[in-house]
Amino acid sequence: MRRLATTEAGFARDFAALLADRDAPADVREDVAAIIADVRERGDAALIELTARLDHLDLDADRLRLTAEEIDAAVASVPADLHEALDLAATRIEAFHRAQMPRDLEVADTAGLRLGMRWTALDSVGLYVPGGKAAYPSSVLMNAIPARVAGVGRLAMCVPSPAGALNPLVLAAARRAGVAEIYRIGGAQAVAALAFGTATVAPVDRIVGPGNAYVAEAKRQVYGRVGIDSIAGPSEVVVLAGAENDPRRVAVDLLAQAEHDEAAQAILITDDAAFADAVADAVASELPTLPRAAIAGASWRDHGAIIIVRDWAEAVGLVDRLAPEHLQIMTPDPEALFARVRHAGAAFLGAFCPEAVGDYVAGPNHVLPTGRTARFASGLSVYDFLKRTTWVAADAAALGRVGPAAVALAEAEGLQAHARSVALRLGQGGGQGGAA
């Protein structure tokens, strides 16, 4: 774990190194390109072979997709209290995303044209759900529910099942979210199948959901053929907290992020050096008690940091440079401090609002920009499953008011057919072809 202080002479250098920590993903481009090419060429046969080699699961084409009976059996095995928890989370997620739905636009301008914008849902979406080091039912809800709210007609879900293991709660979450088309394939090969299609897997229009470096790189390579939500990297949190907080709570909040992955990053920014020491000690005490202590420990050791600042104004500047996926603000007036922050994927305000509540039941989406991309990107929402179509309607009088300017600009650009297209409707000769 790195310890930095803005008062130290080497702070600028050390903070730059901390920023660079997010800029070094594994270089898997060639491996992923080979997998995508294989799936494009051989389809189901490649999926079967890659699943056997990488997930140690022997399948045939008929078993790539889970049957309704398999899903029913898995859902039935989930305890009632977990079904209730899923339902609470799903209800809250759906309510928040329904509130996001945009309205169509129509205006009439002074020239007499009618102008508008219409929102329509995508036809089909592929949902990638991690299933390796951890299976995340919450990711099913966060990816599928906004798509359903937006009106997407077809949802196809891919979830890896190493050695045949599938988390029943993942399938229960899919059932609750209205997803019935589920494939037991993962990795770059699943992304390739969703993008290009095989005999068994029909292609989709957009692929969403987090995954490992291979999944992220595969999404990068298929972008353009299909849409994607983002290139997701390891999870990260920045916690702003002063000495009025319980050091143990802050320590656990940091570890909650660190336990995701060895490459995850958890950072504490505080204005109190003694509190920084107390949190560091609390992390050391809590870490051995966690089932995922090895993962969380590696994350904290290699990527974690504590930064001591002079004041919260200085902290805000550092937050904007970090542009974290998650930001927890545990200060006496968190909303006032948040109002000054420009770059964060999602913010959690107050001592009783840990980031973990956002992962499950708060309502806003937990699929968020990582790797400092919150500078220009946003979290998953209904907008990822909608597209905009603008439209214009004009009669002769309206075109008469604006058309001459269009003719002049088209001629200035040397695009004579453009100019003539308008001029003919204005009763102008428009060169060869005569008047309308």
* Angular region, 271: left φ>0, alpha ψ -120 to 50, beta rest: alpha
Strand pairing partners for 127?
157, 208
Of 169, 7, 156, 162, nearest to 77 (Cα)?
169
pLDDT at 135: 74
Strand pairing partners for 237?
266, 326
Percent of the chain at pLDDT exceeding 90: 90
Q: Who contacts 240 (Cβ-Cβ below 8 Å, separation ≥6)? A: 269, 270, 312, 315, 319, 327, 328, 329, 330, 331, 337
**CA-CA distances (angstroms) from residue 337 to 46, 240, 331, 370, 397?**
52, 10, 8, 22, 54
300-318 tens-digit pLDDT = 999 999 999 999 999 999 9
Does residue 253 carry a pLDDT above 70? Answer: yes
Strand pairing partners for 329?
240, 349
- 29-102+114-232 — its CATH code? 3.40.50.1980
Domains 2-25+233-362 and 29-102+114-232 share a fold: yes
Active-site choice (325, 343, 355, 366): 325
Q: Backbone phi, then psi, for 111, in 5-degree steps?
A: -80, -10
368-424 tens-digit pLDDT = 999 999 999 999 999 999 999 999 999 999 999 999 999 999 999 999 999 999 999
Q: Side-chain half-sphere of 185: how many Cα atoms within 13 Å? A: 33
pLDDT at 26: 65
Count CB-CB contacts under 10 A for residue 40: 17
First to last CA, the chain: 76
pLDDT at 436: 35
325 is catalytic: yes
Of 131-140, 234-243, 340-349, 406-415, the poorest mean pLDDT is in 131-140
Kindly state the tokens that stand for 245: 């907080």
Does residue 434 carry a pLDDT above 90? Answer: no
pTM of the model: 0.92
pLDDT at 266: 98
Contact 15, 315 (CB under 8 A): no
Active-site choice (97, 326, 343, 366): 326
Name the CATH superfamily, with its identifier, for domain 2-25+233-362. Answer: Nitrogenase molybdenum iron protein domain (3.40.50.1980)
Rg (C-alpha) for the chain, rounded Å, is: 26
317-347 tens-digit pLDDT = 999 999 999 999 999 999 999 999 999 999 9
Average pLDDT taken over every residue of the chain: 94
Count CB-CB contacts under 10 A for residue 434: 8
Give 132's pLDDT tier (boundaries 50, 70, 90): low
Q: What is the DSSP letter of 331?
A: S
41 is catalytic: no
* Residue that the structure tokens 């470096």 belong to: 213
Percent of the chain at pLDDT exceeding 70: 97
Does residue 22 carry a pLDDT above 80? Answer: no
Which uninterrupted H or E stretch holds 131? Answer: none
The widest CA-to-CA distance across the chain, in whole angstroms, is: 87
Contact 306, 279 (CB under 8 A): yes
Q: What CA–CA distance (Å, rounded) separates 224 from 233?
A: 20
The full set of domain ranges for the chain reads 2-25+233-362, 29-102+114-232, 394-436
Does residue 134 carry a pLDDT above 70? Answer: no
pLDDT at 433: 44
